[in-house]
Amino acid sequence: MIDNIQRIQKEVGSELAKVSDLDSLEKLRVHYLGKKGIITSLMASLRDLDPERRREMGASLNSLKTDFEAQLDSRKRDMARVQLDKELTQSPKLDVTLPGQFPIATGSFHPITLVMEEMVEAMERIGYQVASGPEIENEFFNFEALNTPSDHPARDMQDTFYIDKGILLRSHTSPVQIRTMKDRQPPLQIISVGRVYRSDYDMTHTPMFHQMEGLFVEQSVSLADLKATLQYLVKQLFGNQPLRFRPSFFPFTEPSAEVDMRCILCKGAPKECRMCGSSGWLEIGGCGMVHPNVFRSVNYDPDRVTGFAFGMGIERISMLKYGIDDLRSFFENDYRMLEQF
Protein backbone atom coordinates (compact mmCIF):
# COMPACT_ATOMS: atom_id res chain seq x y z
CA MET A 1 0.00 0.00 0.00
CA ILE A 2 2.92 2.35 0.71
CA ASP A 3 4.13 1.79 -2.85
CA ASN A 4 0.67 2.64 -4.16
CA ILE A 5 0.53 5.83 -2.14
CA GLN A 6 3.94 6.97 -3.40
CA ARG A 7 2.97 6.12 -6.99
CA ILE A 8 -0.31 8.09 -6.67
CA GLN A 9 1.58 11.12 -5.31
CA LYS A 10 3.74 11.18 -8.47
CA GLU A 11 0.71 10.61 -10.73
CA VAL A 12 -1.22 13.46 -9.10
CA GLY A 13 1.56 15.98 -9.75
CA SER A 14 1.92 14.82 -13.35
CA GLU A 15 -1.84 14.87 -14.05
CA LEU A 16 -2.32 18.32 -12.51
CA ALA A 17 0.37 19.74 -14.77
CA LYS A 18 -1.53 18.49 -17.84
CA VAL A 19 -4.92 19.99 -16.88
CA SER A 20 -5.87 22.99 -19.04
CA ASP A 21 -9.45 23.86 -18.06
CA LEU A 22 -11.86 23.67 -15.13
CA ASP A 23 -13.86 20.76 -16.58
CA SER A 24 -10.70 18.60 -16.83
CA LEU A 25 -9.78 19.64 -13.28
CA GLU A 26 -13.18 18.46 -11.99
CA LYS A 27 -12.80 15.12 -13.79
CA LEU A 28 -9.39 14.65 -12.17
CA ARG A 29 -10.89 15.35 -8.74
CA VAL A 30 -13.63 12.76 -9.28
CA HIS A 31 -11.03 10.24 -10.57
CA TYR A 32 -9.14 10.37 -7.28
CA LEU A 33 -11.65 11.63 -4.67
CA GLY A 34 -15.06 10.66 -6.04
CA LYS A 35 -17.20 7.93 -4.47
CA LYS A 36 -15.31 5.32 -6.52
CA GLY A 37 -12.07 7.31 -6.76
CA ILE A 38 -8.62 5.81 -6.28
CA ILE A 39 -7.86 7.54 -2.96
CA THR A 40 -11.40 6.90 -1.67
CA SER A 41 -11.07 3.19 -2.44
CA LEU A 42 -7.73 2.97 -0.66
CA MET A 43 -9.20 4.61 2.44
CA ALA A 44 -12.09 2.10 2.39
CA SER A 45 -9.61 -0.80 2.31
CA LEU A 46 -8.02 0.32 5.59
CA ARG A 47 -10.66 -1.62 7.52
CA ASP A 48 -9.05 -4.87 6.36
CA LEU A 49 -5.70 -4.05 8.00
CA ASP A 50 -4.66 -4.75 11.57
CA PRO A 51 -4.86 -1.75 13.95
CA GLU A 52 -1.15 -0.88 13.92
CA ARG A 53 -0.91 -1.04 10.15
CA ARG A 54 -4.23 0.83 9.82
CA ARG A 55 -2.89 3.81 11.80
CA GLU A 56 0.26 4.01 9.69
CA MET A 57 -1.52 3.72 6.36
CA GLY A 58 -4.34 6.01 7.49
CA ALA A 59 -1.90 8.79 8.32
CA SER A 60 -0.22 8.45 4.91
CA LEU A 61 -3.52 8.42 3.02
CA ASN A 62 -4.84 11.46 4.93
CA SER A 63 -1.66 13.33 4.09
CA LEU A 64 -2.03 12.34 0.42
CA LYS A 65 -5.69 13.47 0.37
CA THR A 66 -4.96 16.79 2.09
CA ASP A 67 -2.05 17.59 -0.27
CA PHE A 68 -4.13 16.67 -3.33
CA GLU A 69 -7.07 18.87 -2.22
CA ALA A 70 -4.72 21.80 -1.57
CA GLN A 71 -3.15 21.41 -5.05
CA LEU A 72 -6.64 21.23 -6.60
CA ASP A 73 -7.73 24.46 -4.91
CA SER A 74 -4.53 26.25 -5.89
CA ARG A 75 -4.81 25.08 -9.50
CA LYS A 76 -8.48 26.09 -9.61
CA ARG A 77 -7.70 29.60 -8.38
CA ASP A 78 -4.90 29.99 -10.90
CA MET A 79 -7.09 28.86 -13.77
CA ALA A 80 -9.97 31.13 -12.70
CA ARG A 81 -7.57 34.09 -12.56
CA VAL A 82 -6.24 33.32 -16.04
CA GLN A 83 -9.80 33.01 -17.38
CA LEU A 84 -10.80 36.36 -15.85
CA ASP A 85 -7.74 38.11 -17.27
CA LYS A 86 -8.56 36.63 -20.68
CA GLU A 87 -12.15 37.90 -20.53
CA LEU A 88 -11.05 41.36 -19.44
CA THR A 89 -8.49 41.73 -22.20
CA GLN A 90 -10.34 40.08 -25.09
CA SER A 91 -13.98 41.04 -24.42
CA PRO A 92 -15.31 44.48 -25.44
CA LYS A 93 -14.57 46.98 -22.71
CA LEU A 94 -17.50 48.19 -20.60
CA ASP A 95 -18.11 51.94 -20.57
CA VAL A 96 -19.63 52.57 -17.15
CA THR A 97 -20.59 56.13 -18.18
CA LEU A 98 -23.17 54.92 -20.72
CA PRO A 99 -26.85 55.17 -19.72
CA GLY A 100 -28.64 51.99 -18.74
CA GLN A 101 -30.42 49.98 -21.40
CA PHE A 102 -33.61 49.52 -19.37
CA PRO A 103 -35.63 52.19 -17.51
CA ILE A 104 -35.53 51.98 -13.74
CA ALA A 105 -38.98 52.13 -12.18
CA THR A 106 -39.25 54.87 -9.58
CA GLY A 107 -41.12 54.29 -6.35
CA SER A 108 -43.86 56.42 -4.85
CA PHE A 109 -45.29 57.27 -1.48
CA HIS A 110 -47.96 55.00 -0.04
CA PRO A 111 -51.45 56.55 -0.18
CA ILE A 112 -51.60 56.50 3.63
CA THR A 113 -48.37 58.50 3.75
CA LEU A 114 -49.64 60.97 1.16
CA VAL A 115 -52.84 61.67 3.09
CA MET A 116 -51.02 61.79 6.42
CA GLU A 117 -48.57 64.40 5.14
CA GLU A 118 -51.37 66.42 3.58
CA MET A 119 -53.30 66.48 6.87
CA VAL A 120 -50.23 67.40 8.92
CA GLU A 121 -49.26 70.20 6.54
CA ALA A 122 -52.79 71.61 6.64
CA MET A 123 -52.83 71.69 10.45
CA GLU A 124 -49.33 73.13 10.71
CA ARG A 125 -50.45 76.06 8.56
CA ILE A 126 -52.85 77.13 11.32
CA GLY A 127 -50.37 76.78 14.16
CA TYR A 128 -50.59 73.14 15.26
CA GLN A 129 -47.46 71.27 16.30
CA VAL A 130 -46.88 67.54 15.86
CA ALA A 131 -46.50 65.58 19.12
CA SER A 132 -45.54 61.92 19.37
CA GLY A 133 -45.59 59.14 21.93
CA PRO A 134 -44.94 55.39 22.34
CA GLU A 135 -47.08 52.74 20.68
CA ILE A 136 -46.74 50.49 23.75
CA GLU A 137 -48.70 52.20 26.52
CA ASN A 138 -49.97 51.60 30.02
CA GLU A 139 -53.60 51.72 31.13
CA PHE A 140 -53.25 55.12 32.79
CA PHE A 141 -52.40 56.99 29.60
CA ASN A 142 -54.60 54.89 27.30
CA PHE A 143 -57.70 54.75 29.51
CA GLU A 144 -57.69 56.14 33.04
CA ALA A 145 -56.37 59.64 32.32
CA LEU A 146 -58.93 59.81 29.51
CA ASN A 147 -61.82 59.35 31.96
CA THR A 148 -62.09 55.63 31.22
CA PRO A 149 -61.45 53.67 34.45
CA SER A 150 -61.41 49.88 34.55
CA ASP A 151 -65.17 49.60 35.28
CA HIS A 152 -66.18 52.14 32.62
CA PRO A 153 -68.58 50.69 29.99
CA ALA A 154 -66.59 52.45 27.22
CA ARG A 155 -63.84 49.85 27.74
CA ASP A 156 -66.15 47.39 25.99
CA MET A 157 -65.99 49.57 22.88
CA GLN A 158 -62.26 48.98 22.52
CA ASP A 159 -60.91 45.56 21.52
CA THR A 160 -57.48 46.11 23.03
CA PHE A 161 -54.29 44.11 22.51
CA TYR A 162 -52.79 43.53 25.97
CA ILE A 163 -49.09 42.65 26.21
CA ASP A 164 -48.95 42.17 29.98
CA LYS A 165 -50.94 43.23 33.00
CA GLY A 166 -51.52 46.94 32.58
CA ILE A 167 -49.38 47.11 29.40
CA LEU A 168 -50.99 47.29 25.96
CA LEU A 169 -50.70 48.43 22.37
CA ARG A 170 -52.34 51.84 22.27
CA SER A 171 -55.88 51.72 20.90
CA HIS A 172 -55.86 55.39 19.88
CA THR A 173 -53.38 58.28 19.71
CA SER A 174 -55.09 60.11 22.59
CA PRO A 175 -52.38 59.02 25.09
CA VAL A 176 -50.07 61.43 23.26
CA GLN A 177 -52.39 64.25 24.29
CA ILE A 178 -52.17 63.18 27.95
CA ARG A 179 -48.39 62.91 27.86
CA THR A 180 -48.09 66.33 26.23
CA MET A 181 -50.42 68.01 28.74
CA LYS A 182 -48.52 66.48 31.65
CA ASP A 183 -45.27 67.93 30.28
CA ARG A 184 -46.52 71.34 29.11
CA GLN A 185 -48.83 74.08 30.30
CA PRO A 186 -51.53 75.68 28.14
CA PRO A 187 -52.02 77.13 25.64
CA LEU A 188 -51.61 73.91 23.63
CA GLN A 189 -52.27 73.39 19.95
CA ILE A 190 -51.08 69.92 18.91
CA ILE A 191 -51.82 67.02 16.60
CA SER A 192 -50.72 63.42 17.12
CA VAL A 193 -50.34 61.07 14.16
CA GLY A 194 -49.43 57.39 14.16
CA ARG A 195 -50.30 53.71 14.29
CA VAL A 196 -52.93 52.35 16.66
CA TYR A 197 -54.07 48.77 17.31
CA ARG A 198 -57.41 47.06 17.85
CA SER A 199 -58.48 43.43 17.54
CA ASP A 200 -60.63 43.64 14.43
CA TYR A 201 -60.36 42.67 10.74
CA ASP A 202 -62.83 43.03 7.88
CA MET A 203 -63.47 45.28 4.86
CA THR A 204 -63.59 48.40 7.04
CA HIS A 205 -61.35 47.42 10.00
CA THR A 206 -57.78 46.20 10.38
CA PRO A 207 -55.81 45.22 13.52
CA MET A 208 -53.41 48.11 12.86
CA PHE A 209 -54.43 51.44 11.39
CA HIS A 210 -53.50 55.13 11.57
CA GLN A 211 -55.11 58.05 13.34
CA MET A 212 -54.65 61.78 13.50
CA GLU A 213 -55.98 63.53 16.59
CA GLY A 214 -56.00 67.22 17.38
CA LEU A 215 -56.06 69.03 20.72
CA PHE A 216 -56.52 72.73 21.41
CA VAL A 217 -56.44 74.00 25.01
CA GLU A 218 -56.69 77.63 26.06
CA GLN A 219 -58.71 79.83 28.39
CA SER A 220 -61.79 80.31 26.23
CA VAL A 221 -62.05 77.62 23.55
CA SER A 222 -65.55 76.95 22.28
CA LEU A 223 -67.45 74.41 20.22
CA ALA A 224 -67.55 76.99 17.43
CA ASP A 225 -63.72 76.89 17.30
CA LEU A 226 -63.88 73.11 16.94
CA LYS A 227 -66.39 73.27 14.08
CA ALA A 228 -64.37 75.94 12.27
CA THR A 229 -61.18 73.87 12.59
CA LEU A 230 -62.81 70.73 11.15
CA GLN A 231 -64.44 72.71 8.34
CA TYR A 232 -61.01 74.09 7.47
CA LEU A 233 -59.37 70.65 7.48
CA VAL A 234 -62.08 69.04 5.35
CA LYS A 235 -61.87 71.92 2.87
CA GLN A 236 -58.11 71.35 2.50
CA LEU A 237 -58.66 67.63 1.87
CA PHE A 238 -61.86 67.55 -0.19
CA GLY A 239 -62.77 71.11 -1.15
CA ASN A 240 -66.02 72.75 -0.07
CA GLN A 241 -68.04 69.93 1.47
CA PRO A 242 -70.86 70.50 3.99
CA LEU A 243 -70.43 68.94 7.42
CA ARG A 244 -72.93 67.83 10.01
CA PHE A 245 -72.35 67.08 13.68
CA ARG A 246 -74.38 64.30 15.33
CA PRO A 247 -74.52 63.95 19.14
CA SER A 248 -72.47 61.00 20.33
CA PHE A 249 -70.57 59.73 23.38
CA PHE A 250 -66.86 59.57 24.15
CA PRO A 251 -65.67 59.30 27.77
CA PHE A 252 -62.96 61.95 27.25
CA THR A 253 -65.16 64.68 25.70
CA GLU A 254 -68.44 66.33 26.73
CA PRO A 255 -70.36 67.27 24.69
CA SER A 256 -69.27 64.80 22.00
CA ALA A 257 -70.19 64.47 18.34
CA GLU A 258 -69.67 62.31 15.27
CA VAL A 259 -68.65 64.29 12.19
CA ASP A 260 -70.20 63.52 8.81
CA MET A 261 -69.24 64.95 5.42
CA ARG A 262 -71.57 65.14 2.46
CA CYS A 263 -70.94 62.17 0.18
CA ILE A 264 -68.35 63.07 -2.44
CA LEU A 265 -69.79 60.54 -4.91
CA CYS A 266 -73.53 61.27 -4.96
CA LYS A 267 -73.20 64.87 -3.65
CA GLY A 268 -75.90 64.29 -1.05
CA ALA A 269 -78.51 63.11 -3.57
CA PRO A 270 -78.22 59.34 -3.13
CA LYS A 271 -79.67 56.87 -5.58
CA GLU A 272 -78.29 53.51 -4.48
CA CYS A 273 -74.91 55.12 -3.75
CA ARG A 274 -72.37 52.42 -2.86
CA MET A 275 -70.09 54.88 -1.05
CA CYS A 276 -72.51 56.35 1.50
CA GLY A 277 -75.04 53.50 1.53
CA SER A 278 -77.63 55.87 0.03
CA SER A 279 -77.57 58.09 3.10
CA GLY A 280 -75.92 61.08 1.43
CA TRP A 281 -73.36 61.41 4.26
CA LEU A 282 -69.99 59.86 5.15
CA GLU A 283 -68.68 59.58 8.71
CA ILE A 284 -65.12 60.93 8.96
CA GLY A 285 -64.37 61.14 12.70
CA GLY A 286 -65.33 62.05 16.23
CA CYS A 287 -64.86 65.18 18.30
CA GLY A 288 -65.95 67.10 21.38
CA MET A 289 -65.00 69.45 24.18
CA VAL A 290 -62.37 68.02 26.53
CA HIS A 291 -63.97 66.50 29.62
CA PRO A 292 -63.09 68.26 32.92
CA ASN A 293 -61.92 64.93 34.40
CA VAL A 294 -59.27 64.70 31.67
CA PHE A 295 -57.96 68.11 32.67
CA ARG A 296 -57.90 67.08 36.33
CA SER A 297 -55.85 63.95 35.48
CA VAL A 298 -53.06 66.16 34.07
CA ASN A 299 -53.33 68.83 36.81
CA TYR A 300 -55.06 71.41 34.62
CA ASP A 301 -57.74 73.54 36.29
CA PRO A 302 -61.01 72.94 34.35
CA ASP A 303 -62.34 76.20 35.77
CA ARG A 304 -59.56 78.15 34.07
CA VAL A 305 -59.06 76.34 30.73
CA THR A 306 -61.24 74.74 28.10
CA GLY A 307 -60.35 72.75 25.04
CA PHE A 308 -61.51 70.62 22.17
CA ALA A 309 -60.25 67.36 20.68
CA PHE A 310 -60.98 65.50 17.47
CA GLY A 311 -59.81 62.30 15.82
CA MET A 312 -59.89 60.85 12.32
CA GLY A 313 -58.86 57.51 10.84
CA ILE A 314 -56.34 58.22 8.09
CA GLU A 315 -57.30 55.04 6.21
CA ARG A 316 -60.89 56.23 6.20
CA ILE A 317 -59.90 59.61 4.77
CA SER A 318 -57.68 57.88 2.18
CA MET A 319 -60.50 55.59 1.08
CA LEU A 320 -62.76 58.58 0.50
CA LYS A 321 -60.06 60.64 -1.18
CA TYR A 322 -58.92 57.94 -3.61
CA GLY A 323 -62.11 55.90 -4.03
CA ILE A 324 -60.74 52.72 -2.43
CA ASP A 325 -63.55 50.43 -1.28
CA ASP A 326 -61.63 47.85 0.78
CA LEU A 327 -59.50 48.96 3.73
CA ARG A 328 -57.37 45.80 3.47
CA SER A 329 -56.00 47.00 0.11
CA PHE A 330 -53.72 49.40 1.97
CA PHE A 331 -51.84 46.54 3.63
CA GLU A 332 -51.70 43.85 0.94
CA ASN A 333 -48.83 45.59 -0.94
CA ASP A 334 -50.31 44.90 -4.35
CA TYR A 335 -48.01 46.81 -6.69
CA ARG A 336 -50.81 47.31 -9.22
CA MET A 337 -52.73 49.33 -6.64
CA LEU A 338 -49.80 51.17 -5.10
CA GLU A 339 -48.23 52.28 -8.41
CA GLN A 340 -51.29 54.47 -9.05
CA PHE A 341 -49.95 56.85 -6.42
* Whole-prediction pTM: 0.66
The per-residue pLDDT for range 2-38, each reduced to its tens digit, is: 667 777 777 877 787 788 788 888 888 888 888 888 8
Enter the CATH code of domain 111-338: 3.30.930.10
Rg over alpha carbons for the chain, rounded to the nearest Å, is 37
291 pLDDT band, cuts 50/70/90, is very high
**pLDDT reading at 95 higher than 80:** no
| 3-class secondary structure per residue, the chain | CHHHHHHHHHHHHHHHHHCCCHHHHHHHHHHHHCCCCHHHHHHHHHHHCCHHHHHHHHHHHHHHHHHHHHHHHHHHHHHHHHHHHHHHHHCCCCCCCCCCCCCCCCCCCCHHHHHHHHHHHHHHCCCCEEECCCCEEEHHHHCHHHCCCCCCHHHHHCCCCEEECCEEECCCCHHHHHHHHHHCCCCEEEEEEEEEECCCCECCECCEEEEEEEEEEECCCCHHHHHHHHHHHHHHHHCCCCEEEEEEEECCEEEEEEEEEECCCCCCCCCCCCCCCCCCEEEEEEEEEECHHHHHHCCCCCCCCEEEEEEEEHHHHHHHHHCCCCHHHHHCCCHHHHCCC
All structural domains of the chain with their residue ranges: 2-90, 111-338
pLDDT digits (tens, 9 = 90+) for 41-60: 877 877 777 777 777 777 88
